[in-house]
Amino acid sequence: MPESPAKLIDGKVYAERLRAEVTAQVAELKASQGLQPGLAVVLVGDDPASQIYVRSKGEHSLAAGMHSVTHRLPQDTSQEQLLALVAELNSDPLIHGILVQLPLPKHLDERAVLAILNPEKDVDGLTMISAGRLASGLPGLYPCTPMGCLILLRETLGDLSGKRAVVVGRSMLVGRPVAQLLLQADCTVTIAHSRTADLPAVCREADILVAAVGRPRMIKADWIKPGAAVIDVGINRVPFDDPEKAAAGRTKVVGDVDFKSASQVAGWITPVPGGVGLMTVAVLLQNTVTAAKRQAGLDV
């Protein structure tokens, strides 16, 4: 393990590399098969963070040479209208990947939407079929953020076999899928959460610590094993430390890890922003290419 301060795991570098690979794959599919992978993103409402993510997904898919469609629906969209759109996209031969941006407005049932989403087009890996394939260790479309975490760890550490990994957070979106992917990589995995007894001690056992709990700067330096690799999935908006900026209502984005102190103990660490978030979109593009190949009967 390298000496502290930690080396940054730069998500931008690896995301750019993956997007370049996707762009080359798209060009090859167009030239050899006449196939253009298509991605449809559905956004309901006007959540600012979701708006930013959706715009980024659209821009990067177009830049990679894909067919890209964004459906922006009003906040008061009914359950029936949303389900009808998803059903329409399920049957559209030009669309190989469908992503419904979560969270949805509270009056809409996310489970009902995921239940009708064609698993072959589930490029966010959230349907029951996708979750089952991941849990069973079968090939499939895996969730984008967890896959981004795994790619960063493999690029940084190489072989993960035998390493002790602790995932703080048990959500279906990140915590559990990350744990399953690390198990597939032959790590010894612990899923920790708010009710874990002596959580700091559990975290200190980890060669790999993944923070996905949604609490700003919760994980402190003394929770981290010296030299560990720390993957911070958290995206939290907090007031600026500067009193004037805070008084003006300005906020900044921080992770679930207290980066300043943790980077003096960890061996490697992802920044927030600039870490996992950039990988999420890159993996989404790769999943769309994979989905397009499978639907065309091509080898993946």
Which CATH number belongs to the domain containing residue 87 in this structure? 3.40.50.10860
Is residue 267 located within the same domain as residue 154? yes
Are 2 and 32 spatial neighbours (Cβ–Cβ below 8 Å)? no
Per the annotation, the verdict on 186 as an active-site residue is no
Domain span at residue 79 reads 34-118
Is-catalytic flag, 57? yes
The answer as to whether 126 is a domain residue is: no
Average pLDDT over residues 221-231: 98
Instruction: Convert the pLDDT of each residue in 75-100 to its tens digit.
Output: 999 999 999 999 999 999 999 999 99
* Catalytic site residue from 25, 101, 180, 286: 101
Q: Is residue 291 part of a domain?
A: no
Same domain, 89 and 51: yes
What pLDDT is stored for residue 300 in this prediction? 84
Cα four-point dihedral sign 76, 60, 52, 254: positive
Edge-to-edge strands, sheet with 97-100: 67-73, 38-44, 97-100
Contact 213, 234 (CB under 8 A): yes
When pLDDT is averaged across residues 263-285 and rounded to a whole number, the result is: 96
Residue 51 known to be catalytic? no
Does residue 2 have a pLDDT over 70?
Answer: no
Is 179 found in the same domain as 110?
no
The stretches of 79-195 forming alpha helices (DSSP H) are: 79-90, 110-116, 128-135, 144-157, 175-184
Give me 168's structure tokens: 């703080």
Catalytic residue, candidates 25, 121, 122, 124: 124
Q: Choosing from 57, 121, 163, 225, which is the catalytic residue?
A: 57
Residue 60 lies in a domain: yes
Q: Where are the beta strands (DSSP E) in the chain?
A: 7-8, 38-44, 67-73, 97-100, 164-168, 188-192, 208-211, 229-232, 236-239, 251-254, 268-269
Q: Looking at residue 1, what is its pLDDT?
A: 41
